[in-house]
């Protein structure tokens, strides 16, 4: 699973979420799941709907981001099926090869 904290009013976050949509489609059959956590500045205003994002997401009031100690977005947490955090990416979505290695270990 990839847990992605993003801000729907930030172009960089939205761009990354589209890339994740492609990765999710590519690895879905192998059990790869992406869940977005939108932590907008101010009240959610439908910005996510305006971008036609296909991946599931929840809107956070800031509490979840705080518990994960999220300081900047987007940020990506890879979590194994057993709940183990395997990596954190801050520069961008994880490369496909890293996702493949993660899926190989989870068989």
Q: Which tokens belong to 11?
A: 């172009």
Domains of the chain as residue ranges with CATH: 2-105 (3.40.30.10)
| d(C-alpha 38, C-alpha 9), whole Å | 9
Q: In the prediction, which pLDDT does 76 show?
A: 93
Q: Please state the pTM of the whole predicted model.
A: 0.83
- Calculate the average pLDDT of the chain: 82
CA angle centred on 88, ends 25 and 45, rounded to 5°: 65
Give residue-wise pLDDT tens across range 80-93. 888 888 889 888 88
Q: What is the pLDDT of residue 102?
A: 80
Say what percent of the chain tops pLDDT 90: 13
pLDDT of res. 107 = 45
């Amino acid at each position: 699973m990839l847990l992605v904290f993003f801000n729907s009013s930030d172009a960089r976050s939205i761009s990354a979420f589209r890339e994740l949509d492609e990765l999710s489609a590519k690895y879905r059959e192998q059990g790869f799941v992406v869940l977005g956590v939108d932590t907008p500045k101010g009240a959610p205003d439908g910005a996510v709907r305006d971008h036609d994002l296909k991946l599931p997401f929840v809107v956070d009031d800031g509490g979840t981001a705080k518990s994960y100690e999220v300081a900047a977005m987007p940020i990506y947490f890879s979590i194994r099926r057993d709940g183990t955090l395997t990596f954190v990416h801050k520069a961008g979505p994880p490369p496909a090869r890293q996702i493949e290695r993660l899926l190989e270990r989870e068989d």
